[in-house]
């Protein structure tokens, strides 16, 4: 484990903070180094290990209730590295493959963890559900709104556990803070705000180039219409191109917005308006580096502030969320919270361990029991939709009226409606 587990604290949260006893038991076994019979392990394949996926691979491998059987990436260098990293943790080497469909073909595999680029999240998840696999999908759960709807449909139709990688949903300190918000600790909550700050550099101006010999670029593109290979897109800068990514709002805003939506207990807004733009660097980035979005709900408002080029954030933190009620304020930072009264005096605080381990354990327990995971895909879709709506509003340059019953854009705005979905490469259209 990357972090020691405070059993007494975890048991306290398990009883009253939406943490399953089964997830606690998984973490406790990991801490004690206990083994689990092979037939009781959840067998997992990892798709995409150049970045986030390598963390997930090691995270699953550390839990005795899971076994990583496959490592998949279109970059052969990344496959070899991740196979060795997992073997160092769990003792035996997983198979290395280029095409994730080989994982889906293996009936012994129970679940697919998806950490490929955003344009792959929902299409791969839908195929996995259809193949009878449970799914752990990184955030955002879809590249566009329509895909998110289809992924929820696929999960329900095939009765699969599908969870999104918003790991704070399983962090005991965050859960406690959210329960304080919803339990009246700061009175009637009227407003929540969230933010993300970073100091990202320029991605420059790229050029078309020969595809590297270690890369299956055709499979990397997958469901996205083909584009020539350029030398400043892989392996991270795809985030900043609409063809593959969702910008900073989908990349990190989804975590913060999820906290706000969760704390306010709201689903869909009635109006979304956006401001900002791309101001900092003269480069190929298409998405926004300065972004402010307002989400209006029936009885509360959420705002998001994203500055990808300026590291100083609200509360002096690069990431966070705050809830403002008529009796005080609660601020979520890292894996804990603090409460301020109406005179800004601190009157309470709390915290707990976080990271990936509780969230992965929650997923494994949900697979075993058949319950919804803490970040069930329907919850993940609703939060991801806020990101899509914020991006759409900014891209079309106007506020959007939203149906609060289902989150869909109201009216005959053809430009905005066109961004609800996307064009697909032939043969890769997602189907449920």
199, 311 Cβ separation under 8 angstroms: yes
Q: What is the pTM of this model?
A: 0.95
Range of the domain at 161: 7-169
- Tens digit of pLDDT for each residue in 85-126? 999 999 999 999 999 999 999 999 999 999 999 999 999 999
The answer, yes or no, to whether residue 10 has pLDDT greater than 70, is no
What CATH number is given to the structural domain containing 44?
Answer: 3.40.50.720
Q: Assign residue 363 a region: left if phi > 0, alpha if psi is -120 to 50, beta otherwise?
A: alpha
The last residue of a domain, from among 143, 169, 195: 169
Same domain, 284 and 397: yes
pLDDT at 272 over 90: yes
Which structure tokens are listed for 391? 């991006």
Query: Secondary structure of the chain in the HEC alphabet?
Result: CCCCCCHHHHHHHHHHCCCCHHHHHHHHHHHHCCCCCHHHCEEEEEECCCCHHHHHHHHHHHCCCEEEEEEECCEHHHHHHHHHHHHHHHCCCCEEECCCHHHHHCCCCCEEEECCCHHHHHHHHHHHHHCCCEEEECCCCCCCHHHHHHHHHHHHHCCCCEEECCHHHHCHHHHHHHHHHHCCCCCCEEEEEEEEECCCCCCCCCCECCCCCCECHHHHHCCCCCCCCECCCCCCHHHHCCCCCCHHHHHHHHHHHHHHHHHHCCCCCCEEEEEEECCCCCCCCCCCCEEEEEEECCCCEEEEEEECCCCCCHHHCCEEEEEEECCEEEEEECCEEEEECCCCCEEEEEECCCCCHHHHHHHHHHHHHCCCCCCEHHHHHHHHHHHHHHHHHHHHCCCEEECCCCCCECCCCHHHHHCCCCCCCCCCCCCC
Residues 219-245 have pLDDT tens digits of 999 999 999 999 999 999 999 999 999
pLDDT in tens, 344-394: 999 999 987 788 999 999 999 999 999 999 999 999 999 999 999 999 999
Q: Are 177 and 112 in a shared domain? A: no
* Same domain as 274, residue 187: yes
Q: What is the pLDDT of residues 126-158, one digit of tens each?
A: 999 999 999 999 999 999 999 999 999 999 999
Is residue 41 situated within a structural domain? yes
215 occurs within a structural domain: no
Closest to 233 measured CA to CA, from 214, 223, 220: 220
Q: What is the pLDDT of residues 332-346, one digit of tens each?
A: 988 899 999 999 999
- CA separation for the pair 307, 282 (Å, rounded): 16
Same domain, 125 and 264: no
Same domain flag for 61 and 43: yes
- Is 89 a member of any domain? yes
Q: Is residue 51 located within the same domain as residue 100?
A: yes
Q: How many domains does the chain have?
A: 2
Give 284-325 pLDDT, tens digit per residue.
999 999 999 999 999 999 999 999 999 999 999 999 999 999
- Does residue 227 form part of some domain? no
90 and 195 inside one domain: no
Residue 301 CB neighbour total at 10 angstroms: 18
| Whether 252 and 393 share a structural domain | yes
């Amino acid at each position: 484990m990357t972090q020691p587990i405070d059993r007494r604290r975890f048991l306290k949260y398990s009883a009253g903070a939406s943490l399953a006893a089964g997830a606690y038991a998984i973490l406790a076994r990991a801490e004690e180094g206990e083994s689990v019979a092979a037939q009781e392990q959840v067998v997992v394949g990892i798709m995409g290990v150049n970045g986030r996926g390598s963390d997930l691979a090691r995270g699953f491998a550390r839990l005795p209730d899971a076994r990583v059987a496959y490592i998949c990436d279109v970059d052969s260098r990344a496959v070899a590295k991740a196979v060795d990293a997992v073997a160092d943790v769990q003792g035996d080497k997983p198979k290395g493959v280029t095409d994730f469909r080989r994982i889906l073909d293996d009936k012994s595999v129970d679940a697919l963890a998806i950490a490929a680029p955003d344009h792959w999240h929902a299409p791969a998840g839908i195929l996995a559900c259809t193949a009878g696999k449970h799914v752990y999908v990184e955030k955002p759960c879809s590249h566009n709104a329509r895909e998110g709807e289809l992924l929820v449909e696929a999960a329900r139709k095939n009765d699969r556990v599908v969870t999104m990688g918003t790991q704070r949903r399983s962090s005991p300190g965050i859960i406690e803070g959210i329960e304080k918000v919803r339990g009246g600790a700061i009175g009637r909550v009227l407003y929540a705000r969230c933010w993300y700050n970073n100091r990202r550099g320029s991605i420059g101006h790229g050029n078309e180039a020969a595809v590297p010999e270690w890369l299956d670029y055709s499979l990397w593109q997958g469901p996205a219409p083909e584009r020539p290979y350029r030398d400043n897109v892989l392996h991270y800068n795809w985030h900043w191109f609409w063809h593959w990514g969702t910008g900073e709002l989908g990349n990190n805003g989804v975590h913060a917005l999820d906290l706000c939506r969760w704390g306010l207990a709201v689903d869909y807004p009635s109006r979304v308006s956006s401001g900002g733009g791309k101001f900092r660097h003269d480069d190929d980035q298409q998405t926004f580096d300065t972004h402010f979005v307002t989400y209006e709900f029936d009885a509360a408002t959420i705002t998001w502030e994203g500055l990808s080029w300026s590291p100083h954030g609200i509360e002096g933190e690069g990431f966070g969320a705050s809830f403002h009620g008529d009796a005080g304020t609660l601020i979520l930072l890292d894996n804990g919270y603090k409460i301020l009264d109406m005179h800004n005096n601190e009157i309470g605080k709390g915290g707990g361990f976080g990271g990936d381990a509780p969230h992965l354990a929650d997923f494994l327990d949900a697979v075993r029991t058949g319950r919804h995971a803490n970040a069930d895909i329907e919850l993940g879709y609703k939060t991801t939709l806020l990101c899509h709506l914020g991006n759409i509003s900014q891209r079309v340059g106007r506020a959007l009226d939203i149906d609060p019953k289902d989150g869909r854009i109201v009216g005959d705005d053809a430009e905005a409606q066109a961004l609800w979905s996307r064009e697909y490469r032939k043969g890769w259209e997602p189907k449920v």
